[in-house]
Structure 1
Amino acid sequence: MGRSRRTIPEELLLLALDPTTGTTAQPQSLDLGLAGAQLVELALAGRIAPDGDRIAVVMARPTGDPTLDSALELLRRRGSPVRAVHWIGGPRLGLRQTYLTHLERCGMVHAVAGQMCGVLPTTRYQATETAISREIRARLDNAIRTGVPPDPRTAALAALAHAVGLGKHLYPGNEGRSLRSRLRDLIRHDPMGGLVAHAVMDVQNGVAAQPRRQQAAAAGVVRQPAAARATADPAGAPVQSRHGHGRMARVGAR
């Protein structure tokens, strides 16, 4: 896969970046969307294909994109088709930061150093190639407003944007209600995009965890709810701590 074309994960992230604040809309669900967008991109590259509600590797040859190839290799190692909802719901530590770093290297965003609560060093990301972001948005607007069936890439991007909740970010308020509805309707124009988008929404609704909870109950294992085990992820921009452990923090402001 050449680098002349932006990938769907990159475009989804650019859509989510607020041009004024450098924060990302829907940061928690966006991480799921990026994992799903990788599946769509691999499908468009002919490396994977849907098998019912599962994803099967049909060609293991690398695409040339390191991040996509890492996902492809993980899928190949599974040895058998994996349910899309389980793949998307799996751990994706640092995926958003990986794509932000890549966009920075490509000159499409630039890092802005700051502090959270006046103590923790953080980094926000501002779009620099605003024409690219406008072009991506224009493709969605055209598909929504004209009713002309979009190309598969745009249809998949629209499906993922809806699945992660970017509709209210892109088309806010009561005046954007009909546009958000049309954005949702674009999900039907790409089968793979639709499969992945529904998987993203299922993960958010806890569908992916249900079989595991049932198995744990059958084994007599009692686990705390996820909310009790994990610290809440405040909405805001993905930020990179400059402390030794390199963990990501997130800025609470939108």
Structure 2
Amino acid sequence: MGRSRRTIPEELLLLALDPTTGTTAQPQSLDLGLAGAQLVELALAGRIAPDGDRIAVVMPRPTGDPTLDSALELLRRRGSPVRAVHWIGGPRLGLRQTYLTHLERCGMVHAVEGQMCGVLPTTRYQATETAISREIRARLDNAIRTGVPPDPRTAALAALAHAVGLGKHLYPGNEGRSSRSRLRDLIRHDPMGGLVAHAVMDVQNGAAAQPRRAQPAGAGPVRQSATRATAQPAAGVPVQSRHGRGSMARVGAR
């Protein structure tokens, strides 16, 4: 996999970054979304494929992306297809920070050091390549506005953005209600993205322990119960603490 193309986890994280505060929206569900986005990216690369509600490795050859290849190797070691909800709901310590560090290394974000409550050192991340973030957002806006079926990458990104609750971040207020609804409906345009997005919502709803039917290709919009559960905004936004790897501190929303 060439590095000229941004991966879906990278794009999802850039969508979630607040350009004003340098924090990520929906931090808890975003971690699940990044794990799910890795599955979609590996599927698009031909390394894995859905097997009902499970994920099977079909080509263990590395992609060339270290973070994706680490996930691929973990899946390969399972030896048999794994349920998407179990994979996404498993521990993914440091995954968000791994991608933030990668985006910083690529020059797409830069770290801003600060303090929380004047005591705890923190790090926020500001987008530097704003044109990239605008291009990603424009793809979603175009798919929502025109109603034309998007390409698989955009459809999967839309499904994940909805699943982690970014709709209210991207299209806030009453005026954004119809856009949030259309964002949700885009989930039906990519079977793999739909499977993963439903798995993300199931994990948030505590349904990982219960088997469920695979979502058929072309299925309609997500269940209302899942939509309501994921639409609630986070109580605050996180900042990265420099005290300990992957530790997070929460700042109350202002």
How many Å separate the matches in 2 of 1:67 and 1:26? 22
Change (3 A) 1:213 1:161: closer
| RMSD, aligned CA | 7.3
Q: Per-residue CA shift, 1:23-63, capped at 9, x if unaligned?
A: 11100000000000000000000000000000000000000
Change (3 A) 1:243 1:38: same
Post-superposition offset of 1:250: 4.0
Change (3 A) 1:64 1:178: same
Change (3 A) 1:236 1:245: same
Post-superposition offset of 1:251: 3.8
TM-score, normalisation: structure 2: 0.88
Post-superposition offset of 1:215: 25
Q: Per-residue CA shift, 1:170-228, capped at 9, x if unaligned?
A: 0111111111110001000000000000000000000014589999999999999x999
Change (3 A) 1:181 1:61: same
CA contact (8 A) 2:112 2:125 kept: yes
CA contact (8 A) 2:88 2:203 kept: yes
How many Å separate the matches in 2 of 1:28 and 1:158? 18
**Are 1:142 and 2:145 counterparts?**
no
Alignment length (residue pairs) = 253
- Higher-Rg member (1/2): 1
Change (3 A) 1:214 1:122: same
Change (3 A) 1:40 1:221: closer
Counterpart of 1:246 in structure 2 is 246
What secondary structure, in the 3-state scheme, does the structure 1 residue paired with 2:216 have?
Answer: helix
TM-score, normalisation: structure 1: 0.88
What secondary structure, in the 3-state scheme, does the structure 2 residue paired with 1:6 have?
Answer: coil
CA contact (8 A) 2:144 2:183 kept: yes
CA contact (8 A) 1:50 1:192 kept: yes
Change (3 A) 1:110 1:15: same
Change (3 A) 1:39 1:245: closer
Q: Which runs of 5+ in 1 are unaligned?
A: none
Percent pairwise identity: 94
Post-superposition offset of 1:5: 0.3
Post-superposition offset of 1:252: 3.8
How many Å separate the matches in 2 of 1:61 and 1:251? 42
Change (3 A) 1:68 1:60: same
Counterpart of 1:130 in structure 2 is 130
Q: Which runs of 5+ in 2 are unaligned?
A: none
